Amino acid sequence: MNSIVVFCGSSEGTNPEYIRQGYSLGKTLAEQEITLVYGGAKIGVMGSIAQGALEADGKVIGVIPDFLKIREVFHMGLTELIVTQDMHERKLKMHDLSDGIIMFAGGYGTLEEFFEMLTWAQLGLHQYPIGILNTNGFYTELMNMLAKMVDQGFVKKENYDMILVDDTIDGLLTQMENYKPLPVPKWIKKEQV
């Protein structure tokens, strides 16, 4: 993987471990020469990930919609800052710039971005590895809910298994490097992927 988009919160949360782990994630990506693509903010968990990557001389690309530039206090020290017209264009740009996806601690926006990318993978529109960094069991209940969706017949087991989960950065990145994507559905043309 040359670049990974990280979806995470622009808030710090109540546990300082999320800021510490975010910084370590950014630093690790930089040390492995993986470009960080993220939401462009200098605050919260987003800011800690960017700072970790930048302080380790990593490449960091922020993608932020124009209306959030002030609200999320955009980071002015990035390798590149891309301003989009809206949230949909933001997700498309993040997708285009990356070849792997990580979800880290965050709120509604983090979940929305992650699930759109996951849905695209389910539909065969991309074959990127999709990971969850499950620090402090943050997403354990979510994974239980998704397992219930499988059990109740709303999600196929192979689509559930696409989600790589680990509570360590190195463990998650190793899973992502070794990821074998599902075959592209026959109804998807190769040029669409």
Beta-strand relationship, 35-38 and 101-103:
unpaired
CA 174 – CA 44 distance, rounded (Å): 26
- Sheet of 35-38: strand order equals 80-84, 60-65, 35-38, 3-7, 101-103, 130-133, 163-166
Q: What size, in residues, is the chain?
A: 193
For residue 178, give every residue at least 6 positions away whose Cβ sits within 8 Å of its Cβ, in sequence order, or none: none
Q: Which domains are assigned to the chain?
A: 3-176 (3.40.50.450)
Over the stretch 5-64, which tens digit does the pLDDT of each residue have? 999 999 999 999 999 999 999 999 999 999 999 999 999 999 999 999 999 999 999 999
pTM (two decimals): 0.92
What 3-state class would DSSP assign to 163? Answer: strand
